[in-house]
Amino acid sequence: MKKNKIIIIIAVVVVIIGGLVGWGLLQAKKLKTDVVQVVEKPPVVLFLSGVISSIDAVNNFLMVKPDNETKEIKVIVSEGTKIKKLEAPFDLNNPPEGGGTFSPKETEIGISEVKEGDRIFIRSNEDIYGKEEINNIDFIQISS
């Protein structure tokens, strides 16, 4: 009878330990899966700002060097893309005394009026994360 009690106790302990180990492994696998899912999901990017490095008005595209990056991105300008130039009513390097607020003058321009070295801000209709060529542009803002 003593042998049977010892065997039953050992069996219960083995089952409990096995259950704890299995539960721990299941939780570790679940945690690893959650971390992988968070890391693999890239951000959604709809905006781009930078400096125009070259212009091809004949083929309707601009090469833009994004801020804080070394590679250039090709921005294709379609017929539906609006290009607007923003101009401050005074020299930004020499603002008028007293400060105050101002509204920049906004003028719609064509690709032929864009210059190398202009600052550019682009809003896309689709995610542009990691792309080297963008062709679905909502609007472009230019500032000298």
CATH of the domain at 54: 2.40.50.140
- 3-class SS letters over the chain: CHHHHHHHHHHHHHHHHHHHHHHHHHHHHHHHHHHHHHHHCCCCCCEEEEEEEEEECCCCEEEEEECCCCCCEEEECCCCCEEEEEECCCCCCCCCCCCCCCCCEEEEECHHHCCCCCEEEEEECCCCCCCCEECCEEEEEEEC
Do residues 34 and 58 both lie within one domain? no
**pLDDT score of 77 more than 70:** yes
Do residues 65 and 99 both lie within one domain? yes
Count up the domains in the chain and report the number.
2
The overall average pLDDT reported for the chain is 84
Do residues 63 and 88 both lie within one domain? yes
Do residues 61 and 128 both lie within one domain? yes
Do residues 65 and 35 both lie within one domain? no
Do residues 2 and 37 both lie within one domain? yes
Q: What is the mean pLDDT of residues 6-18?
A: 84
Confidence of residue 138 (pLDDT cuts 50, 70, 90): confident
| pLDDT tens profile 105-121 | 899 998 889 999 999 99
Do residues 51 and 22 both lie within one domain? no
Instruction: Output the pLDDT for position 117.
Output: 93
Q: Which of 133, 136, 143, 125 is nearest to 62 (CA)?
A: 133
Instruction: Output the pLDDT for position 52.
Output: 95
Q: What is the mean pLDDT of residues 75-80?
A: 89
Do residues 99 and 134 both lie within one domain? yes
Confidence of residue 91 (pLDDT cuts 50, 70, 90): confident
| pLDDT tens profile 41-61 | 788 889 999 999 999 989 999
**pLDDT score of 85 more than 70:** yes
Q: Domain span at residue 32?
A: 1-41
Do residues 62 and 28 both lie within one domain? no
